[in-house]
A = this chain, B = another copy of it.
Amino acid sequence: MLFLARMDVTFPESMTDETKADFQVKEKEYSGNLQREGRMRDIWRVVGEYANYSVYDVADNDELHAILSGFPMYPYMDITVTPLAKHPNSIK
């Protein structure tokens, strides 16, 4: 079951570059694991913004919330979730 998420990241003014870099390392590992498990199918950068669109394949809403709230940067993210259904014109 697929969901599209848009995530916008806003770091507080007081966060040091070192902390930011540390978060980015953790995010890369967390996102990599989700992709290897097949639970994150795609992640793209929104051009010109500190934001992404990503696609999740999960069993239910609770699993999706666990994934999203588990992102290291979750406290600094504004996330909107769109539930997706099969489109009649999709050939997949």
CB-CB under 8 A for A45 and B79, given A13-B12, A13-B14, A61-B1? no
CB-CB under 8 A for A43 and B83, given A61-B2, A65-B48? no
Q: Which residue of B lies closest to A66 (CB)?
A: B85
Contact, CB under 8 Å: B84 / A45:
yes
Q: How many residues of A contact B (CB 8 A)?
A: 47
Q: Which residue of B lies closest to A52 (CB)?
A: B87
Contact, CB under 8 Å: A1 / B60:
yes
Residue with the greatest number of chain B CB neighbours at <10 A, chosen from A12, A45, A81: A45
Per-position binary interface string of chain A over residues 1-22, scored 1 when its CB falls under 8 Å from any chain B CB and 0 otherwise: 1111100000011100000000
* Interface positions of A from 43 to 91, Cβ below 8 Å from B: 43-49, 52-53, 55, 60-62, 64-65, 68-69, 79-91
Residue with the greatest number of chain B CB neighbours at <10 A, chosen from A35, A43, A44: A44
